């Protein structure tokens, strides 16, 4: 059936998922196939980029910590300018565009310029991370709250989070951009009263060929992330929900690369 949701001059902010192209939605695949120009982030998987038509322009606007290839205002200007040239613009973002994806800024920039803009959701890194480890983000009776939090502070600024609230209760914490601040996250949560034995899961390159699953406890979080390169995306998940249901050695379907208690 033909779709009429992508006329020339429109911008789609498209969730590319965690990396594996099989985790892309059908809709995202269709929009990518119809694009004249694609602006993509550093964390968009290579298998997803392969789906961009040869005729379409591919522009990397990737940001990796510390190395900003384009600032946000420039990205906003580029997508608006491409739409004004009557192109079909796909702005590909890792995971889900609505989670730590600067989507609000890009929607606002398009709206201010009178450019139609829409959002296609994607599988977020936290979903891919727990799926890889064979656990859930929530747990009946034990983890009734889920908090998505970023541990990335703006350059030169302290990490200003409400640690008491994060440490309290039964919440699962899905910490994005948390590798560099892992020691701080550990210390602050412990001093705010979170139990040292709280299970922790770290998934590096979730859904990608280099996927690694690391398990431990909150008290060992600093060590768990030690060997992770700054170039590899890593998600930290903290809470009872990520406690393995059975001993990992008894569960051959769940890959385990490291266990540190």
d(CA 204, CA 200): 13
Smallest separation (angstroms) from ligand SAH to the CB of 207 = 6
Residue 94 binds to ligand SAH (criterion: CB under 6 A)? yes
Among 13, 37, 79, 99, binds ligand SAH (CB under 6 A): 99
Smallest separation (angstroms) from ligand SAH to the CB of 216 = 16
Among 21, 24, 61, 101, binds ligand SAH (CB under 6 A): 101
Strand partners, 117: 11
What does DSSP assign to residue 251? Answer: -
Among 205, 216, 242, 244, binds ligand SAH (CB under 6 A): 205
Q: Is the CB of 10 or the CB of 124 nearer to ligand SAH?
A: 124
Which tokens in the block code for residue 181?
């601040």
CB count, 10 Å around CB of 81?
A: 13
CB count, 10 Å around CB of 73?
A: 10
d(CA 128, CA 130): 6
What does DSSP assign to residue 250? Answer: G
Choose one: 29-37, 113-121, 186-194, 200-208; the region binding ligand SAH (CB under 6 A).
200-208
The torsion angle over the Cα atoms of residues 172, 192, 227 and 246, rounded to 10 degrees, is: -40
Whether 240 and 170 have beta carbons less than 8 Å apart is answered as yes
Residue 124 binds to ligand SAH (criterion: CB under 6 A)? yes
Based on the residue annotation, tell me whether 27 is a catalytic residue of this protein: no
Choose one: 52-60, 124-132, 157-165, 223-231; the region binding ligand SAH (CB under 6 A).
124-132
Residue 52 binds to ligand SAH (criterion: CB under 6 A)? no
Whether 79 and 11 have beta carbons less than 8 Å apart is answered as yes
The torsion angle over the Cα atoms of residues 22, 215, 169 and 233, rounded to 10 degrees, is: -50
Among 44, 96, 173, 237, binds ligand SAH (CB under 6 A): 96
Q: Active-site residue among 4, 5, 20, 41?
A: 41
Q: Where are the alpha helices (DSSP H) in the chain?
A: 26-34, 46-49, 72-84, 103-112, 125-133, 163-167, 182-191, 221-224
Residue 239 binds to ligand SAH (criterion: CB under 6 A)? no
Q: Is the CB of 94 or the CB of 199 nearer to ligand SAH?
A: 94
d(CA 149, CA 252): 31
Based on the residue annotation, tell me whether 41 is a catalytic residue of this protein: yes
134 phi, psi to nearest 5 deg: 75, 30
Q: Is the CB of 17 or the CB of 87 nearer to ligand SAH?
A: 17
Among 18, 47, 199, 239, binds ligand SAH (CB under 6 A): 18
Among 109, 177, 185, 238, binds ligand SAH (CB under 6 A): 177
Among 89, 180, 189, 208, binds ligand SAH (CB under 6 A): 208
Give me the residues that bind ligand SAH (CB under 6 A), please: 18-19, 43, 93-96, 99-101, 124-125, 129, 176-177, 203, 205-208, 233-235
Q: Which residues are catalytic?
A: 41, 63
């Amino acid at each position: 059936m033909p779709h009429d949701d992508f006329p020339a001059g429109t911008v789609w902010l498209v969730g590319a998922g965690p990396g594996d192209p099989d985790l892309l939605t059908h809709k995202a695949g269709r929009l990518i196939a119809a694009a004249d120009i694609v602006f993509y982030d550093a964390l968009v998987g290579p298998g997803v980029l392969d789906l961009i038509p040869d005729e379409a322009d591919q522009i990397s606007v990737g940001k990796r910590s510390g190395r900003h290839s384009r600032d946000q205002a420039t990205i906003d200007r580029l997508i608006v300018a491409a739409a004004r040239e009557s192109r079909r613009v796909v702005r590909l973002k890792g995971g889900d565009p609505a989670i730590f994806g600067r989507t609000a800024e890009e929607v606002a920039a398009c709206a201010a310029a009178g450019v139609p803009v829409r959002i296609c959701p994607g599988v977020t890194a936290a979903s891919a991370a727990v799926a890889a480890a064979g656990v859930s983000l929530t747990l009946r009776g034990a983890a009734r709250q889920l908090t998505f939090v970023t541990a990335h502070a703006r350059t030169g600024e302290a990490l200003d989070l409400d640690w008491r609230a994060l440490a309290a209760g039964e919440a699962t914490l899905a910490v994005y951009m948390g590798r560099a601040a892992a020691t701080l996250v550990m210390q602050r949560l412990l001093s705010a009263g979170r139990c040292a034995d709280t299970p922790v899961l770290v998934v590096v390159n979730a859904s990608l060929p280099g996927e690694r699953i690391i398990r431990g406890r909150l008290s060992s979080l600093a060590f768990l992330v030690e060997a992770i390169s700054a170039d590899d995306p890593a998600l930290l998940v903290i809470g009872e929900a990520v406690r393995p249901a059975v001993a990992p050695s008894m569960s051959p379907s769940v890959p385990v690369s490291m266990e540190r208690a």
